[in-house]
């Protein structure tokens, strides 16, 4: 599918803070702001963090995902699993509705298969930038006009103190 905008793909939104257009990518609408997208940070690249980043991307935001581990996956990252670990749910009940497991995955996927699945989800939807950077703290700066909340994450790269 073409990423070019046509009149059929453009829709005006009235959010009160930015003009936006909708662009169809991979058959799904994705809002593209007239100005630069709003930067949003997501803490954690586990299942919830990846889904959050994907939805934010689809809504036209620019999410930056911080994950303290060197790999994405949350509880499924290599540092938190052990050999022989498998999901206690079947792959059909432990999958995103828009991204099925590959048919080669076991009925009860191994930790490695779950990690591969989450990695393929992040690659497909482009929702896992900046893994390997941990958010140490977040500072609240109050609210600006138009209801924009301002937080500043303090980060560090893994391996540094």
- Give tens-digit pLDDT for 53-94: 999 888 888 888 888 888 889 999 999 999 999 999 999 999
What is the length of the chain? 161
- Give tens-digit pLDDT for 101-159: 999 999 999 999 999 999 999 999 988 665 556 666 666 666 665 555 666 666 665 55
Question: Which residues lie across from 86 on neighbouring strands?
Answer: 110
Give the Cα separation of 139 and 87 in Å (integer): 37
Q: What is the dihedral of CA 98, 99, 104, 106, to 10 degrees?
A: -80
Domains and CATH numbers, the chain: 1-36 (no CATH), 37-157 (3.50.50.60)
Give the Cα separation of 46 and 121 in Å (integer): 11
pTM of the model: 0.68
| Whole-number pLDDT of residue 137 | 65
């Amino acid at each position: 599918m073409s990423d070019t905008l046509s009149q059929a793909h453009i829709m005006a939104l009235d959010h009160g803070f930015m003009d936006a257009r909708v662009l169809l990518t991979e058959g799904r609408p994705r809002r593209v702001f007239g100005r630069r997208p709003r930067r949003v940070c997501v803490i954690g690249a586990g299942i919830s963090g990846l889904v959050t980043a994907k939805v934010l991307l689809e809504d036209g935001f620019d999410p930056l995902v911080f994950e303290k581990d060197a790999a994405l996956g949350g509880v499924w990252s290599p540092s938190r699993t052990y050999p022989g670990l498998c999901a206690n749910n079947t792959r059909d009940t432990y999958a995103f509705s828009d991204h099925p497991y590959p048919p080669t995955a076991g009925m009860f996927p191994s930790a490695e298969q779950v990690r591969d699945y989450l990695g393929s989800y992040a690659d497909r939807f482009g929702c896992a930038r900046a893994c390997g950077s941990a958010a140490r703290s977040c500072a609240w700066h109050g609210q600006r006009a138009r209801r924009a909340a301002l937080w500043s994450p303090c980060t560090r790269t893994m391996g540094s103190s």
